Structure 1
């Protein structure tokens, strides 16, 4: 066999490989880059942006964390109620959702000593006087 035949065989093999790859890519239909409910998702995201803006207008952090005592505190107005989400990015099985309701102005303190040490995100969504808010804090235990 001379180098001419070898070169032709390499081109044929390359063409067959490319045709196979294109065929496989064209037949895939389980890849969806855009959701079917794009408009509804956009409205939800806009609502989330509004909640973050509402919390920023308060001018104060409502979530605080003391690393020495491993206590998490929430300070909201009387009548506020919402959900506290302790989110562990590395393991979803450790996530906790806690409903919160404030009947007086005193801060609510949670002891986090029982949680596994590492990186956590604390997300708080609450509603007060018909207005919704969202605030997030990143902590290390």
Structure 2
């Protein structure tokens, strides 16, 4: 009897193992590049003495509550037409010994932070030029005391281009 020869088809190779390995390699490269980018980016705190300021948080909350309790609020207003920032203190503080600072914080770049002394006129108003401020987002903090009582106001200001 003649022998039958059965032709077996050659086994086909699957591409799935290679695709899975390639996916893991690409994912590992992506994660590695993200870690490298995160480690090389600069992280600036809002201020150099950030941790000391956090410890004073309770005192600031009390000063903020004391400021809100006044008959009128302390107001920080940006006047775009005049390129000025106006600080108006409440009339309830009239005749009291005032001292303090107006602090300008640029959250995106701490090298631009600065402060100026609070020197209100007889109407408890101080006008500051914004020529020094670059366009963008600024956080203005008014930290002052009147007759030994601390007050605090924080206002966000956006300087247009």
- Structure 1 counterpart of 2:125: 107
Q: How does 1:1-141 map to 2 (within 5 A)?
A: 41=55, 44-58=56-70, 59-76=72-89, 77=93, 78=95, 79-102=97-120, 104-141=122-159
For 2:121 and 2:135, locate their aligned partners in 1 and report how far apart those are by CA, in whole Å. 31
List runs of 5+ in structure 1 lacking aligned partners: 1-39
TM-score, structure 1 as length reference: 0.63
1:69 to 1:102, Cα distance in 2 relative to 1, 3 A:
closer
Q: Which structure's CA Rg is the greater one? A: 2
> In 1, are the aligned partners of 2:63 and 2:152 still within 8 Å (CA)?
yes
What's the Cα RMSD here?
A: 2.1
- Structure 1 counterpart of 2:25: none
List runs of 5+ in structure 2 lacking aligned partners: 1-53
For 2:132 and 2:112, locate their aligned partners in 1 and report how far apart those are by CA, in whole Å. 11
The structure that is helix-richer by fraction is 1
Count of matched residue positions in the alignment of Structure 1 and Structure 2 = 101
For 1:140 and 1:66, locate their aligned partners in 2 and report how far apart those are by CA, in whole Å. 11
With a CA cutoff of 8 Å and minimum separation of 6, indicate the structure with the bigger relative contact order. Answer: 1
For residues 61-93 of structure 1, the C-alpha deviation after alignment (integer angstroms, 9 at most, x for no partner) is 332222332211112344311011010000011
> In 2, are the aligned partners of 1:81 and 1:102 still within 8 Å (CA)?
no
TM-score, structure 2 as length reference: 0.56
